[in-house]
Amino acid sequence: MTLDVLLLFFSAGAVFFLTVLIIAVLRSAYERYEERYLAQQITDLSEMFFFVGPQQLIVLTLAVTAIGATVGLLLLGPVFTVLLILFGLASPTLLVRFYRQRRVKLFEQQLVDALVGIASAFRAGMTLYQAMEEVARTSNPPLSQEFALTVRETRLGKSTEEALVNLTHRVNSDDLRLVVTAINTARSLGGNMAEMLDTISITIRERFRVEGRIRSLTAQGKLQGYIIGAMPVLVWFGFDMVRPDLTRPMMEHWFGYAVVGVVLVLEALGILLIRRVIAIRV
């Protein structure tokens, strides 16, 4: 009886200390995750005037991860469950990347008209500060937000060159970087800035036209890539609905997992190769 009590006591103590150790490890991992991963995403979103708190981003990540895990466990099996969980954990990065790309694309489209407006302001006798202030007042977001912040930095004591460089760092646009480099060079060496901005706006507009033409010509290749990439998954679901006795046993053996891993690797390589073939930079 005494031996049984001692065994129970030591077992309970081992479980307790093991639980404390696991909690400490998970807490350290969460703090590292929040410091290195979530903080960067929140900073990127704040730079794009999209303010999300840490708790909101964590709740969003956990919600997407939980939904993916539930769907995977109920419908897809353990392999797809792991993939959906990884997708849920990476959802903040994907969200920030998608939002940044869409914002930069919209900014570049608005930049063409803004350059024409700044060139007209120069011809009317305005300074660069007054021209940027007018663009910030009359344009739509995101261009108005970025130029308003640049005007505010200039008003608080930063030089125009430094404020424009900060603008390029926030937006991270090649077109804007070209414009800022040209403006800072013209301010240092002199030149007809209005004519220079008109030339740059024409160049950017022509690039948009060529990119649109390229997108229309490569749309068929992209669609073929999507269809070919989705075929293994669609065929798997089709067989699983018609003959589950042929598909489910494969997910109960290590060889089946190896086959799924090889398929995923080949799918990723195929997507990368197709993207390289149809990717044409202007």
The pLDDT score that the predictor gives to residue 264 is: 79
Residue with tokens 């997910």: 251
Peptide bond into 142 cis (omega under 30): yes
Residue with tokens 């900014």: 107
User: Is residue 7 assigned to a domain?
Assistant: yes
| Statement to judge: residues 225 and 248 lie in one domain | yes
Tokens of 258: 């190896």
User: Is residue 182 assigned to a domain?
Assistant: yes
| Residues whose CB is less than 8 angstroms from the CB of residue 204 and which lie 6 or more positions away in sequence, other chains included | 108, 111, 112, 115, 175
* Pairwise CA distance, residues 18 & 279, whole Å: 52
pLDDT band at 188 (very low <50, low <70, confident <90, very high): confident
Which of 58, 89, 120 represents a domain boundary (last residue)? 89
User: Is residue 169 assigned to a domain?
Assistant: yes
Q: Of the candidates 181, 156, 159, which has an alpha carbon nearest to the alpha carbon of residue 168?
A: 181
- The identity of residue 81, as a single letter, is T
| Statement to judge: residues 119 and 186 lie in one domain | yes
Q: Of the candidates 275, 271, 278, 272, which has an alpha carbon nearest to the alpha carbon of residue 211?
A: 278
Cα 94 to the chain's mean position, in Å? Answer: 4
- The identity of residue 104, as a single letter, is V
- Tens of pLDDT, residue by residue over 199-212, are 888 888 888 888 87
User: Is residue 121 assigned to a domain?
Assistant: yes
3-state helix, strand, coil in the chain (%, to 5): 90, 0, 10
Answer whether residue 35 shows pLDDT above 70. no
pLDDT band at 261 (very low <50, low <70, confident <90, very high): confident
- Read off the pLDDT of each residue in 225-246 and give the average, rounded to a whole number: 78
- Tens of pLDDT, residue by residue over 127-164, are 888 888 888 888 887 888 888 888 888 888 888 888 88
Which of 26, 57, 89 represents a domain boundary (last residue)? 89
- Read off the pLDDT of each residue in 231-240 and give the average, rounded to a whole number: 79
| Statement to judge: residues 73 and 118 lie in one domain | no
Structural domain range at position 130:
104-191
Q: Domain count of the chain?
A: 3
User: Is residue 22 assigned to a domain?
Assistant: yes
Tokens of 252: 């109960």
User: Is residue 95 assigned to a domain?
Assistant: no
User: Is residue 76 assigned to a domain?
Assistant: yes
Which of 27, 56, 89 represents a domain boundary (last residue)? 89
- DSSP 8-state class, residue 126: -
User: Is residue 198 assigned to a domain?
Assistant: no
